[in-house]
Chain A
Amino acid sequence: MNMTNDSRQTVEQLEDKLFARFGNERAFTVPDGYFDNLTGKVMSRVMQQESLNRGKKRKSRRTAWRWSIAALLAGCVAVGGLILEKQSTLQTAEAEDTQYIEDALDYTMIDNMSIASYLTEAE
């Protein structure tokens, strides 16, 4: 059948010509018994994939667990460090406070004679 170039032809007419010339039957085949064995083949691959997925999940859980422990240890070290740092700062501050108090106490214990002697020496 010759397909003439006629722009006035509707798509339905062109489609009819394709049907008349080629039909719409399947021109492909499959190996004998292909569909009989297909479900088993597909399910075997699906189950293989499922087992891989489970392995990945287990590995991912193990990795997450390891990271959690590492994070916990790092946290403990960090908190311990902070506590030590804090204690050291407190001790320094306490020492400074003690020195200041002792100096203040010394000054309060100065009697009038010592002040007069200090002023005389200064002159």
Chain B
Amino acid sequence: MIDEKALFQQLRNPSTREAAFTKLVHEYQEPLYWQIRRMVLSHDDADDVLQNTFIKAWNAIDGFRQESRLQTWLFRIAINESLNYLSGKKQVLSLDQPEGSIADMLASDSYFDGDEVQQQFQTAIGTLPDKQRLVFNLKYFDEMKYEDMSELLGTSIGALKASYHHAVRKITSFFEDND
């Protein structure tokens, strides 16, 4: 387990900053990657967004005031980067048929290991609005508590519960319509 206080002090000091940041990247790269990957789906995109996340974090170290944990701060940057990436991608691509495009993308992705059922599940999740999808992923896959999610996303627990419930109902009705 990383000592965040010590690491923070090292990050503040220009002479130890690079080594401390290397430690930070090593510690959080994997959980951040999976969080991003569930949002953007493709490995190449997740790799790009992850690297941008760390670059943003590096540039913003001086502004970090320890009001939250380093981990929470990094996750927030990663979430913002993922949402920005998705909104930029939507402006470029025509997403008239998002369900079809997600299924096609997953089918041709050599780093998607799921069977057809998993492909359908990701397609159903992909029909959710981005922020609702984020809440669904955090609760369903990461089993994150609403309290932690509230701190991470700066949203009330009530709103998060409503968002998750809505997402579960939408996914269920997706399969009712398609089964």
Query: A42 an interface residue at 8 Å Cβ cutoff?
Result: yes
One of A18, A30, A46 near B140 (C-beta < 8 A): A18
Query: A99 an interface residue at 8 Å Cβ cutoff?
Result: no
| B-facing residues in A19-45 (Cβ within 8 Å) | 21-22, 24, 26-31, 35, 38-39, 41-43, 45
Q: A29-B112, A45-B51 are in contact. Are A3 and B176 (CB under 8 A)?
A: yes
Interface of A (DSSP majority class): helix
Contact status A18-B29, CB under 8 Å: no
> Max chain B CB contacts within 10 Å: which of A28, A29, A47?
A28
Measured CB to CB, the closest approach of chain A to B165, in angstroms, equals 4
Contact status A22-B43, CB under 8 Å: no
Contact status B168-A49, CB under 8 Å: no
Query: A2 an interface residue at 8 Å Cβ cutoff?
Result: yes
Measured CB to CB, the closest approach of chain B to A33, in angstroms, equals 13
Measured CB to CB, the closest approach of chain A to B133, in angstroms, equals 14
Measured CB to CB, the closest approach of chain B to A11, in angstroms, equals 4
Size bin of chain A's contact surface: 20 to 34
What residue in chain B is nearest A53 (Cβ atoms)?
B59
* Cα separation A27 to B171 with both chains bound (whole Å): 17
* Cα separation A45 to B29 with both chains bound (whole Å): 14
* Cα separation A29 to B121 with both chains bound (whole Å): 16
B18 / chain A contacts, CB cutoff of 8 Å: 43, 47
Give chain A's interface residues, CB within 8 Å of chain B: 2-5, 11, 14-15, 17-18, 21-22, 24, 26-31, 35, 38-39, 41-43, 45-47, 49-50, 53
List 19 A–B pairs whose Cβ atoms lie within 8 Å, in order of A's numbering: A3-B172, A3-B175, A11-B169, A14-B169, A18-B172, A21-B121, A22-B118, A27-B122, A28-B38, A29-B113, A35-B29, A35-B30, A38-B50, A43-B18, A43-B25, A45-B51, A46-B25, A46-B54, A46-B55
